[in-house]
Amino acid sequence: MRTCGATYDAESEAAGNGPEEVYLTPEELPGFCAGALAGAGWGGDSLPTFEFDVPDDDELAGWHEGATGVIHMHPRLLSRWHVLHELAHWLRPLDGHGAQYTGTMVGLVRAVMGERTARGLLEDYRVRGLPVDEGWT
Ligand SMILES: [Zn+2]
């Protein structure tokens, strides 16, 4: 699906232009997610369930299971960008990589990495023609 590749490209470009990548440990995820959710105005009391069961040879670092809300991740590929990507899916489980997803992701990135990186991501989505719901705040 075209928007998948374009979404990953936009986020990887924004990540390259943002602060140095930080990898989290499984133990750090609850605190990281609570801070990101609270900072982006989502409350932060309710947190996703993570399962660290993505194998080494999988092409994905993680995925969100719509039916259960569980986020599956590789235990050593917990970059902040990957975690925020899955967190945005968890918040917008019916949207795929649509406008609600992208708007939510921009808000999460702003909460964690600041305004400059969030604006860069917004621009990287827009130049690829990806829709962004600006009511994310
Ligand atoms: Zn995705």
Q: Show pLDDT as tens, one digit a residue, over the chain (137 residues).
A: 345 789 999 999 999 999 999 999 999 999 999 999 999 999 878 999 999 999 999 988 899 998 999 999 999 999 999 999 999 999 999 999 999 999 999 999 999 999 999 999 999 999 999 999 987 64
CA of 125 relative to ligand 1 center, distance in Å: 14
CA of 27 relative to ligand 1 center, distance in Å: 23
Half-sphere exposure of 115 (CA within 13 A, CB side): 0
Q: What amino acid is encoded at 23 in this protein?
A: Y
Domain boundaries, the chain: 2-127
CA of 128 relative to ligand 1 center, distance in Å: 16
Cβ burial, residue 94 (10 Å; 0-12/13-18/19+): exposed
Statement: the pTM of the whole predicted model exceeds 0.95: no
Q: What amino acid is encoded at 124 in this protein?
A: D
**Which numeric CATH code is attached to 2-127?**
3.30.2010
